[in-house]
Chain A
Amino acid sequence: MIEVKNLTFAYEKEKPVLHDISFTVKDGERIGLIGANGAGKSTLMKVMLGLLDGEGSVIVEGIPVTQKTLAETRKKLGFVLQNSDNQMFMPKVYDDMAFGLLNYGMNKEETEKKIDEVLSSMHIEYLKDRYNHRISGGEKRMAAIATVLAMEPSALLMDEPTSALDPKNRRMIIQIINDLKQTCIITSHDLDMIMDTCSRVILIDEGRIIKDGPAVEILRDRKLLEAHGMELPLSLSRL
Chain B
Amino acid sequence: MNRAQQALYEMKQTDELAMMDSPVHRFSALSKLMVTVIYIVTVMSFSKYDFGGVFMMALYPYLVFQLSGLSFKLCMYRMRYVIPLVAFVGIFNPFIDRTVMFQARFLSVTGGMISFVTLMIKGILCLCAAFLLSGTAPVDEICGALRRLHVPSVFVTVFLLAYRYMSVLMEEVAVMSDAYHLRAPRQKGIAFETWGSFLGQLLLRSMDRAQELYAAMQLRGYDGEFRQTGNTKDRSVSFVWFVVWTAVFLILRFVPVASLIGNLFVRQL
Q: Which residues of A line the B interface, CB within 8 A?
A: 46, 49, 51, 70-71, 74-75, 78-79, 81, 83, 85-87, 89-92, 94-95, 98-100, 102-104, 108, 111, 131, 133, 147-148, 151
For residue B85, give the distance in angstroms from its CB to the closest CB of chain A: 28
Contacts of A91 in B (CB 8 A): 12, 15-16, 19, 138
For residue A165, give the distance in angstroms from its CB to the closest CB of chain B: 19
Whether B98 is near chain A, meaning CB under 8 Å from some CB there, is: no
Report the separation of the CA atoms of residues A75 and B218 in the bound assembly, to the nearest whole angstrom: 11
Whether B219 and A79, one on each chain, are in contact in the complex, defined by CB atoms closer than 8 angstroms, is yes
Whether A151 and B220, one on each chain, are in contact in the complex, defined by CB atoms closer than 8 angstroms, is yes
Report the separation of the CA atoms of residues A191 and B228 in the bound assembly, to the nearest whole angstrom: 41
Partner of A81, one of B16, B164, B212, B231: B212
Contacts of A83 in B (CB 8 A): 209, 212
Of chain B, the residue at the smallest CB distance from A100 is: B220
Contacts of B218 in A (CB 8 A): 51, 70, 74
Number of B residues whose C-beta is below 8 Å from A? 25
Contacts of B16 in A (CB 8 A): 91, 131
A-B contact pairs, 23 of them (CB 8 A): A51-B219, A70-B218, A71-B221, A71-B223, A74-B219, A74-B221, A78-B219, A79-B219, A81-B212, A86-B209, A86-B212, A89-B216, A90-B140, A92-B19, A95-B229, A99-B217, A99-B229, A102-B229, A103-B223, A103-B227, A131-B12, A133-B12, A148-B220
Whether B213 is near chain A, meaning CB under 8 Å from some CB there, is: yes
Contacts of A148 in B (CB 8 A): 220
Report the separation of the CA atoms of residues A95 and B139 in the bound assembly, to the nearest whole angstrom: 12
Contacts of A133 in B (CB 8 A): 12
Report the separation of the CA atoms of residues A87 and B220 in the bound assembly, to the nearest whole angstrom: 10
Residue among B138, B209, B223, B227 having the largest count of chain A Cβ atoms under 10 Å? B227
